[in-house]
Amino acid sequence: MNAVANAANVTNERLLIEAAQHDPSRFAELYENNFARVYAFVVRRVQNREEAEDVTAEVFHQALAKLGHFQWRGIPFVAWLLRIAANTLADRWQRESRNQEVPADVLEEAGADQAIERSAMLFQLVERLPEDQRLVVLRRFVDQKSLREIAQELGRTEGAVKQLQFRALQNLRSKVRSNHESS
Distance of closest approach, residue 48 Cβ to other proteins, in angstroms:
8
* For helices 114-127 and 158-182, angle between their N-to-C axes, nearest 10 degrees: 130
Distance of closest approach, residue 119 Cβ to other proteins, in angstroms:
5
Query: Which amino acid does the sequence have at 166?
Result: F
43 binds other proteins (CB under 8 A): yes
* Residues in contact with other proteins, shown as a per-residue x/- string from 124 to 163 under the rule CB under 8 A: --xxx--x--xx-xx-xxx-x-xx-----------x--xx
Cβ contact 34:16 at 8 Å: no
Distance of closest approach, residue 7 Cβ to other proteins, in angstroms:
26
In the complex with other proteins, the residue whose CB is nearer, 2 or 114, is 114
Positions touching other proteins (CB under 8 A) are 24-25, 27-28, 31-32, 35, 39, 43-44, 47, 49, 52-53, 56-58, 60-62, 64-65, 88, 91, 118-119, 122-123, 126-128, 131, 134-135, 137-138, 140-142, 144, 146-147, 159, 162-163, 165-166, 169-170, 172-173, 176
